[in-house]
Structure 1
Amino acid sequence: MGREATITAEQVTAVADAMKVEGIKPTSRAVRERLGNTGSMGTINKLLQRWKAGQVRQATAALALPPALQKALIDFMDAELTAARATLEAELAEQQQEAADLATENERQAELIAAREEEIEGLAIEKAEAEGKASQLSADLDAARIEAVREREAAEQARTELAKALLRLEAMPRLEADLVAVRAELSTERHARVTAEQSAAVLAAQKDDLTGRLTDASSRRERAEETLLAQQQRADKLSAELADTRASLQATEARAKAFEREAATAAAAVERARGEAKTAGEQAAQLRGQLEASRSVQPTRKRPTD
């Protein structure tokens, strides 16, 4: 968008007339200085050329001679002026056209400069905005880097916790195998206890039966002493076996209670390990397949001997 002209033809004409009265030749630069160095040189030159063209027409119209010399001079001056006027008018027209072209070009250049200045102002604004965005982006980048460092530290801590959870998970199959073995041993001991109690009941019944037979066969006491002695020895032997069985059963119950306590401790450890394994989240899910595979090849715990 071009700038509006701040100099009018009336202002240029007034300044040129004043300079002519003062005997000073009006020029574009002198007129611009009289106008306070305002306005473009192209516009002032264009308006000054119009003023000069008007001055030539006024001089031609005001040319007059006394009646005594007019006739002689007019013919001569007319011929000379006609020839000179044609040349001067042609040159003047050419100069005026050149001056007009120059003024037009100056005005176009001034408009172009104004447009460029506006573009420069717009670019300066865009530059300031871009610098502000760059500063914001730089701050965001710094914040992102700090956040990345925190994320890496958190990830490292999570990997450490995951490694601990994996160690606990790796210990789980062994604990579960131990628990299964203890339960099997406990079941075996309970079965042995039931068998021993049944044997004791049978022996007690046999003893009662023998006592009844001794009462009923008191008359045959002398004859059955040897047999009774043998039966008594057998009963004593069975009683000793029963006592040994009861002692073994008590030891077995003590071991079973110890195994139950170990199983409870192992179960609590398993539950704690499972609770900690859940905190591993999605990362532990990738290891479940490995855990299932490792469970399929769990080593069998060797049964302890008495």
Structure 2
Amino acid sequence: MARQGITRDQVFTAADALVGDGQQPTINAIRERLGGTGSPNTIHKHLVQWREARPVAAVAAPELPQALTAAIAGEIEKAAAKARAEKEQELQQAQAEAAELGAAGEALEAERDELAEQVAVLTTERDTLAGKAAQQAADLAEAQQRIEREQQAAEAARVEVATARLKIEAQTERQTEQAAEIERLRAALADAQQGRTAAEQQAAVLAAKLEACADRVSRAEARAEQIEQQAAKAAQAHDTARAAAAQETRQAQTERDDARKVAAEAREQAARLAGQLEALQRQQDKAEAAEKATKAPKGKGGE
């Protein structure tokens, strides 16, 4: 807020007070009387008006005696001399006031130059601060963009971690299912191995039976041939022996047919057991391949 200047009445009052104290109402004296405030130019303007407003006594010129007139003339001369002295004093005072005003003007010019320099410095500081503020605003915008990019990267990382966690959970679940499947295949393999062992044992029994039947067939055929030879010889020797030989031949043929039938059944059962063994072997191979595939190391692209 600007400071209020001094008024005309303040200057007039101060000048009257100085004159009453027997002092000259100079600019500095009035300024001191006013408490060190007021512009010298303003004080000088009001002081000139105060001097112009002072009353001037009018001098009458009545008809007086010569002696009195001479005395009055002398007094007038003295008054004129005094007036001239006062005017000279006022002139000197005006010159002093002008010097004071010049000094005050120089001081004001120096103060003005100093203020101009301060304004220039403040302007430079303002421009510097404005540049710094603009740079800080740019840095702030860049930092905001960087924060947004980091937030987006963090969000992408969270999504990737969540996806990886889901994959891990799914893979763990698949591993659990695969472990259960491996256990099931192992149990099936054990059952297949037990069935294969039983089938092999049964096949061995059937093979032994087949071999015994084949031996019986061979013996029956040899016996039938022998009987036929004996029957042929006996037929020539005796009809009774021939009839007996025919009976034995029929019996031998019956035994041979029975042996062949048993052998055919044994062969059929052996073929059926061989098919079962082959099916069990394929099941065992499949179970072993599945177990190896489950235990095989995963590639880069596999889960």
Compute the TM-score of the two structures, normalised by the length of structure 2. 0.47
User: Computing the radius of gyration over CA atoms, which structure comes out larger, 1 or 2?
Assistant: 2
Greater RCO (Cα-Cα under 8 Å, separation 6 or more)? 1
Compute the TM-score of the two structures, normalised by the length of structure 1. 0.46
